[in-house]
Amino acid sequence: MQLDLAAVRVAAAAFPKPEAFKPSYGTAGFRAEASLLPSTVFRCGMLIGLKARSCGQACGVMVTASHNPEQDNGLKLVEASGEMLEPAWEAHATQLAQADTAEQLLQVLAALAATLQPADTPGRVIIGRDTRSSGADLAAACSAGVAAVGGKVSDIGVVTTPELHFTVQTFNQYQALEEQAYFTNLLESFRTLTAGSHAPQQPLHVDCANGVGALKLQQLVPQLQQLGLQLQLYNAGQGRLNHGCGADYVQKEQCFPAGMGDLPAGACCASIDGDADRVVFFTKGQDGSFVLLDGDKIAALAAVYLRRLLSHAPPGTADSISTGVVQTAYANGASTRFITEQLGLQVRCTNTGVKYLHHEAKAFDVGIYFESNGHGTVLLKPSLLQRLQDMDENMSVMQLLAVSRLMNQAVGDAISGLLLCDAVLRSGTSLAEWQALYTDLPSRQLKLVVADRTVITTTDAERRCVTPAGLQDAIDAAVAKYDLGRAFARPSGTEDAVRVYAEAGSQEAADALAREVAGIVFDRCGGVGSRP
């Protein structure tokens, strides 16, 4: 592919890389304090612009740091399929983002361009951003990068991450960019799923993390009300993004988000994150306790529901369909047992990151994946969709097809997840029954800062540490002391932190094991600050 390298050099000079900054592609793209990022987003604009030109379709960029604090920002890069950037391209992105001099940058870019065949069309990059104040300038820097390599830009402004993925996917099918298409798809599939079921008596209380999800849900409130779903929104934009609220906070801290602690026992509540690609549910027990229904519980609910729909489809359908659930090391042991032993479904475990779970879920005719933190969706294979479309219309077949439209087929979507769970609850499973599908083993997550978290490398879907030497043996020795103990440590790919997960037979034991493992990591990996 031909590039005007002189023009690239001039354009790149406006976005110099901070000297000591060494960004690398993490779990879901790049993330850092926003002021560090203009060079990274400009360079990723060039990368994705080249990709779009080479495939002759639209690709996407979402400017977001999702669950991170307001002062951070980042980028998620989107393939023409609407899915996350293929892992093989992540190394190119890191190389471009880390180039220290203009010469190095041009060299990496020219080498990449030389491997690509341009398609006949110029390609297009669709850029969206969340509500962070740094977003507009970073989106502009990204546009400049796309333009520098001869790509076209469509800036669709403030959107949720899944909405951006959906827009890329559908633009490549129908050449439409209108936001209404995203809303109509959600509303119509939800209408089909809930037709004939009783509307809930109670509202659904949603913590919006003070993020972009609030803006989008506000737009949907009146139409959802007509479909019998009454939404009450909290943390809907007045307070600080992800501060004391949002899915990450609620799931990790296992407590009520700001402003929702006074709701009555049994209220049905959910929490989405800063860019609305994850959702967890929660309620208050009769004793006032916080009760979490996390991504594992959502996967279990979805699996029960899909099994039911498949069993009501024309005879023989269910027998010839493979259904599986994909989880990560964070999945509560009780959920894995429930899915395999009670539901008889296959479970696979991957590294953390939607890109890994999504890929694995595609191997099944019906692939259900959710990370415990609420990221996930339900995928139906195109060949299964075709079979369903060819069948006589019965209610279950229509509902299976509606699930595939409601559930974003490119990436997890908090709004889809909210609507799916509401539809299942209306179909006859109560919140209490959902909660009682299985009882979580007590667990605790902690994070700590070390001098260089890359010293920790892992294997076996991140369940065991390979380096530094001796770390895993020390964790094993700690785990062995606890009844039903399980624990692991892994470097975060979105924050400068090491995450520790522990579960055990009691909450006190899970807390103690998590603290003990965090202490081991602190001692052996150069802990910073006070020892956990």
Pick out the residues of the known binding site for Mg(2+).
66, 273, 275, 277
Q: Among 211-219, 252-260, 371-379, 417-425, which window interacts with ligand G16 (CB under 6 A)?
A: 371-379
Task: Compute the chain's Rg from CA coordinates.
Answer: 23
**3-state secondary structure at position 226:** helix
Q: Which is nearer to ligand G16, 150 or 491 (CB)?
A: 491
Q: Among 151-159, 305-313, 341-349, 490-498, which window interacts with ligand G16 (CB under 6 A)?
A: 490-498
Binding residues: 66, 273, 275, 277, 371-373, 490-494, 499
How many of the other CB atoms lie within 10 Å of CB of 226? 9
Give CA–CA dist 124/113, Å, rounded.
16
Instruction: Map the footprint of ligand G16 across residues 334-353, applying CB under 6 A.
Output: 352-353
24 belongs to the binding site for ligand G16 (CB under 6 A): no
Rounded to the nearest whole angstrom, what is the least distance from the CB of residue 397 to ligand G16 in the complex? 32
Q: In this structure, which amino acid lies at residue 18?
A: P
Q: Which is nearer to ligand G16, 400 or 414 (CB)?
A: 414
Q: Which of 54, 66, 134, 443 is catalytic?
A: 66
Residue 242 sits at the vertex; the CA angle it makes with 327 and 74, to the nearest 5 degrees, is 75
Q: Please select the residue that binds ligand G16; options are 67, 165, 358, 444, rule is CB under 6 A.
A: 67
Instruction: Map the footprint of ligand G16 across residues 27-46, applying CB under 6 A.
Output: 27-28
**3-state secondary structure at position 487:** strand
Q: Please select the residue that binds ligand G16; options are 237, 493, 526, 532, rule is CB under 6 A.
A: 493
Cβ-contact 443, 509 below 8 angstroms: no
Nearest C-alpha neighbor of 28 from the set 130, 148, 112: 130
Give CA–CA dist 368/340, Å, rounded.
13
Rounded to the nearest whole angstrom, what is the least distance from the CB of residue 308 to ligand G16 in the complex? 28
495 belongs to the binding site for ligand G16 (CB under 6 A): yes
Q: Please select the residue that binds ligand G16; options are 163, 273, 440, 462, rule is CB under 6 A.
A: 273
Q: Please select the residue that binds ligand G16; options are 24, 81, 492, 507, rule is CB under 6 A.
A: 492
79 belongs to the binding site for ligand G16 (CB under 6 A): no
Nearest C-alpha neighbor of 215 from the set 182, 190, 250, 255: 182
160 belongs to the binding site for ligand G16 (CB under 6 A): no
Q: Which is nearer to ligand G16, 108 or 247 (CB)?
A: 247
With b meaning 16 or more CB within 10 Å and e meaning fewer, what string describes 371-384? bbbbbbbbbbbeeb
Q: Please select the residue that binds ligand G16; options are 130, 277, 413, 462, rule is CB under 6 A.
A: 277
Rounded to the nearest whole angstrom, what is the least distance from the CB of residue 420 to ligand G16 in the complex? 18
66 belongs to the binding site for ligand G16 (CB under 6 A): yes
205 belongs to the binding site for ligand G16 (CB under 6 A): no
Rounded to the nearest whole angstrom, what is the least distance from the CB of residue 442 to ligand G16 in the complex? 21
- Give the list of residues 6+ apart from residue 444 with CB closer than 8 angstroms, or none: 501, 502, 503, 507, 510, 511, 513, 514
With b meaning 16 or more CB within 10 Å and e meaning fewer, what string describes 84-94? bbeeebbebbb
Q: Which is nearer to ligand G16, 53 or 375 (CB)?
A: 375
- In the sheet with 366-370, reading across from the earlier edge strand, the strands are 346-350, 323-328, 366-370, 376-380
Rounded to the nearest whole angstrom, what is the least distance from the CB of residue 340 to ligand G16 in the complex? 22
Q: Which is nearer to ligand G16, 243 or 307 (CB)?
A: 243
Q: How far is CA 418 from CA 18, 83, 184, 242, 377, in A?
A: 41, 21, 16, 18, 11
Long-range contacts of 192-197 (CB under 8 A, 24+ apart): 192/398, 192/399, 192/401, 192/402, 193/399, 193/402, 193/403, 193/406, 193/419, 193/420, 193/423, 194/227, 194/228, 194/229, 194/422, 194/423, 194/426, 196/395, 197/423, 197/426, 197/427, 197/428
Q: Which is nearer to ligand G16, 83 or 273 (CB)?
A: 273
Q: Which is nearer to ligand G16, 278 or 405 (CB)?
A: 278
Rounded to the nearest whole angstrom, what is the least distance from the CB of residue 145 to ligand G16 in the complex? 21
Rounded to the nearest whole angstrom, what is the least distance from the CB of residue 392 to ligand G16 in the complex? 39
92 belongs to the binding site for ligand G16 (CB under 6 A): no
User: Could you confirm whether 66 is annotated as catalytic?
Assistant: yes
Rounded to the nearest whole angstrom, what is the least distance from the CB of residue 348 to ligand G16 in the complex? 15
Largest CA distance in the chain: 68
371 belongs to the binding site for ligand G16 (CB under 6 A): yes
Nearest C-alpha neighbor of 64 from the set 91, 101, 37, 87: 37
Number of residues in contact with ligand G16 under rule CB under 6 A? 18
Q: Which is nearer to ligand G16, 118 or 493 (CB)?
A: 493
Q: Would you give the distance in Å from CA 54 to the centre of its chain?
A: 27
Residues at the site binding ligand G16, with contacts judged by CB under 6 A:
27-28, 66-67, 273, 277-278, 352-354, 371, 373, 375, 492-495, 499
Catalytic residues, by residue number, are 66
